Chain A
């Protein structure tokens, strides 16, 4: 057990409208092994039931609890409190999105970017009946480091380019595009390329690498963007 102070961003649209929100402090005892999500749950369940945040699986696979902790984007359920190395811990909603309430942001613009790149396998050749399509382990390997994305938005929210240009597809959608473009089964290049090859698409990225740093799944969206650019320059245009 150790004592920590959590400084948590609060915004209640019914009371704080028109303000920039406020910060509320909670001093609590944290047990060994607690994550930031455990601490938030403790506060909600024992101290202040009005504290609002999203959570579901609590083990790093659903992507619900993306937030900014001590200035760094991550998912709260995977962040051990003790690893932060500070006694005072700040918790804020993901930057770059409209705050709905406390730590809950409006994710619609994030999903909209995904829809723009057609986030699904596109094929024209009919698949074999009652059999799988074949894909070599090497081809399958090209999807590693991309397909694991949990849509937590930590990457896009950390991207200065996205802060400046809300039309920018952002690291997440572009990496998702790469996940399909690089899939040996996909035939959707023509349909996807216009969205990607756009001034708000791959060319907007300034390779600042914030997204790589932010990703709790250790995925490298910047590399995916560079791969897409390379494909475009390599004669597809």
Chain B
């Protein structure tokens, strides 16, 4: 008996394919939406990054009807920006073990990651990589023709005791790009139905079952209802809550905000990773390789300031330590010209080495900072990079309605928007492409099993589009004095300053008040584009609404968690506090503000110890 057998027959069968058109019409009638804009698919995936397309492919290959909604054309999803690699203990070049990868991930998470989920992920990692290869990914190759692997921070031999290990599978410095394009190619091959440039706006939840989503067609304008037996969110990260970020303009927390609005909890939202070397003012990522090749970090006084913070490792200390060191320089007035900026100096490496070993970094510096690192140092600053928290799911990617054990039937989530949790308080480099791929696939498989048992659609509630219709109409008609872009800039500037690399109660309280004020001002916005066709101003205003909701949860969570763990560093707390805080945060939005609950960390193998490198 399959695991979903209990659900057989529990749906009231209304499959319009069995009914005459008039009755079908009645069953699909939704207030405020034209009938031809009500779509029915076995499964609807929101998001076409690695997580979303992997899920879709699994479902399509099993013969079910799956549709993928995405705000941007699939190959423009932010998974494509990943450069470094995707982790798997293939041992293609040297000894490596799944167990070592398991340990490194647990340690990297500062022991907040759930070890059952981590173990599953690292075990499935090689299979996913081989499947990617079979799909056609142009991986770089070893001399024997195997998949090439490189070093990456935090991945070492022998349960944290040994030297770095070659574990990051790579395609030059375009790993995310090739994985994303290959998945899309496979989706084309198998005929996955895409709804590109559709902006999902709200979930349809009736009782304790998810019945699909409501979306806005960006190109033509108009509300569409997607009626599904299975709905999966794969909407990615939300780095756009911060002024300086490596994330795409599209990473605006829509998915997590929709979940929050539906009265469901989010998990561990206070954990946001900052990468030390983003191009100043832009946030664009300059990869670890620049420091790996011997780049110096220099302050306004011309000092190699890492001397003070990590005299042994210097510029090669872990990401979070470097981010905090740079920030200390800022706070103590040694940023370049007193600004939020220090120099990454490569000049001493010489033109030849820079051209040969760091061509991509040189190109990025020239194109985006307007400096050639052969002649000038690159201005850099820490940049918001990755969101560890998200929609709570179990190891099969089923969304947990209570955050703990109760499945919201019909709904899954995978990738950066979800929190399984495999990254805990801090993600290791190259583990998130893996997370998105493994869990996209796992979600897809679980959905296939579900669809094989659940044959029918449950009727849509007549008012299921109301929230989305109201949202859009409200923004289109709003005529207050506030500009959404200005509110967004206030949010992003302050989030970066007050809820960034370092946090403390005073700053966070201030930030919370700023958000409350911005939420009020948001009620008085206006947009200058009132049209229906490709209204990007409408889109930006809706995205801002989502960011404001989710930022509140990030800040409230950061205020609430009075310890330092992984990426969450409170200057007013002495350190990690396992006694009180070795637990996941669950946060709900209520009338009275953010409400918290907790759940224990799953510890199967490795007991928490001090995270030292």
Residues of A within 8 A of B81 (CB): 57, 59, 61-62
- Assuming the contacts A55-B249, A58-B249, A60-B367, asked whether A132 and B133 have C-beta atoms less than 8 A apart, the reply is yes
Interface membership of B462, Cβ < 8 A: no
Residues of A within 8 A of B533 (CB): 12-14, 100-101
> Closest CB-CB distance, B493 to chain A, in whole Å?
13
- B72, A131: Cβ atoms under 8 Å? no
State A52–B534 Cα separation when bound (angstroms): 8
- B485, A140: Cβ atoms under 8 Å? no
Residues of A within 8 A of B145 (CB): 134-137
Residues of B within 8 A of A143 (CB): 138
Nearest-neighbor residue (CB-CB) of A180 within chain B:
B136
In the complex, per-residue mask of B528-552: 1 if CB is within 8 Å of any chain A CB, else 0: 1101111111001000000000000
Interface membership of B262, Cβ < 8 A: no
- A57, B489: Cβ atoms under 8 Å? no
Name the residue among A48, A64, A101, A121 with the largest chain B CB count within 10 angstroms. Answer: A121
- B248, A133: Cβ atoms under 8 Å? no
Residues of B within 8 A of A115 (CB): 188
State A57–B72 Cα separation when bound (angstroms): 11
Interface membership of A151, Cβ < 8 A: yes
Which residues of A, 63-122, contact B by the 8 Å Cβ criterion?
A: 63-64, 78, 80, 82, 100-101, 104, 107, 111, 115, 118-121
Interface membership of B445, Cβ < 8 A: no
Interface membership of A197, Cβ < 8 A: no
- A133, B133: Cβ atoms under 8 Å? yes
Partner-contacting stretch, out of B28-36, B122-130, B155-163, B601-609? B122-130
State A133–B145 Cα separation when bound (angstroms): 8
State A148–B176 Cα separation when bound (angstroms): 11
- B141, A137: Cβ atoms under 8 Å? yes
Residues of B within 8 A of A104 (CB): 534
State A135–B367 Cα separation when bound (angstroms): 34
- A130, B174: Cβ atoms under 8 Å? no
Decide if the interface of chain A is mainly helix, strand, loop or mixed: loop
State A111–B187 Cα separation when bound (angstroms): 14
State A120–B529 Cα separation when bound (angstroms): 39
Selected from B126, B133, B136, B144, the residue in CB contact (under 8 A) with A120 is B136
- A44, B485: Cβ atoms under 8 Å? yes
Which residues of B, 112-162, contact A by the 8 Å Cβ criterion?
A: 126-127, 129-130, 133-136, 138-147
Nearest-neighbor residue (CB-CB) of B534 within chain A:
A101
Residues of B within 8 A of A135 (CB): 141, 145
State A44–B489 Cα separation when bound (angstroms): 13
> Closest CB-CB distance, A234 to chain B, in whole Å?
24
- Assuming the contacts A62-B76, A62-B81, A127-B134, asked whether A120 and B248 have C-beta atoms less than 8 A apart, the reply is no
Residues of B within 8 A of A151 (CB): 73, 75
State A50–B77 Cα separation when bound (angstroms): 24
State A44–B281 Cα separation when bound (angstroms): 18
Which residues of B, 182-241, contact A by the 8 Å Cβ criterion?
A: 182, 185-186, 188-189, 219
- A33, B489: Cβ atoms under 8 Å? no
Residues of A within 8 A of B76 (CB): 56-57, 62-64
Selected from B78, B126, B138, B185, the residue in CB contact (under 8 A) with A57 is B78
State A173–B146 Cα separation when bound (angstroms): 29
State A104–B196 Cα separation when bound (angstroms): 14
- Assuming the contacts A33-B281, A82-B370, A185-B136, asked whether A56 and B78 have C-beta atoms less than 8 A apart, the reply is yes
- A50, B80: Cβ atoms under 8 Å? no
> Closest CB-CB distance, B292 to chain A, in whole Å?
20
Residues of A within 8 A of B489 (CB): 45
Interface membership of A35, Cβ < 8 A: yes
- A120, B534: Cβ atoms under 8 Å? no
- A78, B367: Cβ atoms under 8 Å? yes
In the complex, per-residue mask of A26-53: 1 if CB is within 8 Å of any chain B CB, else 0: 0000001101000000001110111011
Interface membership of B178, Cβ < 8 A: yes
> Closest CB-CB distance, B127 to chain A, in whole Å?
7
- Assuming the contacts A33-B370, A57-B76, A132-B133, asked whether A137 and B537 have C-beta atoms less than 8 A apart, the reply is no
State A186–B171 Cα separation when bound (angstroms): 18
Selected from B78, B369, B537, the residue in CB contact (under 8 A) with A62 is B78
> Closest CB-CB distance, A130 to chain B, in whole Å?
6
State A33–B186 Cα separation when bound (angstroms): 38
- B528, A50: Cβ atoms under 8 Å? yes
> Closest CB-CB distance, B481 to chain A, in whole Å?
13
- B136, A49: Cβ atoms under 8 Å? no
> Closest CB-CB distance, B172 to chain A, in whole Å?
8
- B72, A120: Cβ atoms under 8 Å? no
- Assuming the contacts A80-B367, A101-B533, A147-B178, asked whether A131 and B130 have C-beta atoms less than 8 A apart, the reply is yes
Q: Beyond the given A49-B484, A63-B75, please list 18 additional residue pairs across the A-B interface where CB-CB is below 8 A.
A: A13-B531, A14-B533, A32-B370, A33-B281, A44-B485, A49-B527, A49-B540, A52-B537, A57-B249, A59-B81, A59-B285, A61-B174, A62-B248, A64-B72, A107-B73, A120-B186, A140-B141, A147-B178
7 residue pairs of the A-B complex, CB under 8 angstroms, read: A12-B533, A61-B176, A62-B80, A62-B81, A63-B75, A107-B73, A185-B136
Which are the 5 A-B pairs with shortest beta-carbon distances?
A121-B136, A134-B145, A45-B485, A49-B528, A120-B185
